[in-house]
Amino acid sequence: MERVSRRKILAAAGSGAALATALAGASAVSAQRATRPPGQAQSDWIERYALVLNPQASDSLRSATGNISPTGPAYWVGTIWADGSIGSDGAPTSDARQVGTYRGSVWVYVPGVQPQFTGLHSLDIAGRGQIIAAGVTDTSVAITGGTGDYQGARGEIRAANLGSTGLALTLELELLGPTPGR
């Protein structure tokens, strides 16, 4: 490694890339700036689950009418199932496998069968860890971190209704990042 003078370091202090070039050499820095080649997957891995919300165990500070969520603060809970374990009616199939639990602390802005809300979501996958997601939700939300197999994960959770009730959803998790347990 070549010696770097104090003058080079001070001259490069205005630019992070120039400072890194002075300290590590141009070849190392240009390798770090490389972009993803065309056609390469953006995610490290994708997982799919089914989520069935439990309205009896969920709560809201405001009253709901039927299956329509009220506006304002709410706490939602549900059961996470293996992909394909839930029918379009929200009922588990004969070979269904429960894999975890869901908890969400949300503020509903637009009520309805598919409400629009902002919230903090926790998906506890049994034996694997916890996924935390947060943000304004309509059909997707950002993964902000996790534990266990999901430690350091980032990405997105996309949701789609499984049936007309709005209580059964398909979840697709597009995950990025280092995961030591994977």
Residue 119 has pLDDT above 80, yes or no: yes
61 plus 143 within the same structural domain: yes
Structural domain count, the chain: 2
Residue 24 has pLDDT above 60, yes or no: no
Average pLDDT over residues 80-89: 90
Q: Is residue 25 one of the residues assigned to a domain?
A: yes
Quick check: 142 and 119 in contact, CB under 8 A?
no
Q: Is residue 182 one of the residues assigned to a domain?
A: no
Q: Is residue 181 one of the residues assigned to a domain?
A: no
Q: Which helix (H) or strand (E) element contains residue 26?
A: helix 26-32
Question: For the chain, what is the mean pLDDT?
Answer: 74
Q: What is the DSSP secondary-structure string of 131-179?
A: EEEEEEESSEEEEEEESGGGTT-EEEEEEEESSSSSSEEEEEEEEES--
Q: Is residue 94 one of the residues assigned to a domain?
A: yes
50 plus 112 within the same structural domain: yes
Q: What one-letter code names the amino acid at 47?
A: E
Quote the pLDDT of residue 64: 62
Quote the pLDDT of residue 67: 60
Average pLDDT over residues 109-128: 82
The candidate with the shortest Cα–Cα distance to 51, out of 116, 123, 120, 139, is 123
* 18: containing domain: 1-34
3 plus 54 within the same structural domain: no
13 plus 102 within the same structural domain: no
pLDDT digits (tens, 9 = 90+) for 37-75: 444 445 577 889 999 888 777 766 666 666 666 777 888
Q: How far is CA 5 from CA 1, 18, 22, 61, 124, in A?
A: 13, 14, 9, 64, 52
- Residue bearing the bigger pLDDT, 177 or 45: 45
Question: In the numeric block, which tokens belong to residue 40?
Answer: 């390469």
pLDDT digits (tens, 9 = 90+) for 141-151: 999 999 998 88
121 plus 171 within the same structural domain: yes
Three-state SS for 178?
coil
12 plus 78 within the same structural domain: no
Cβ atoms < 10 Å from Cβ of 154 = 17
The candidate with the shortest Cα–Cα distance to 107, out of 99, 96, 117, is 117
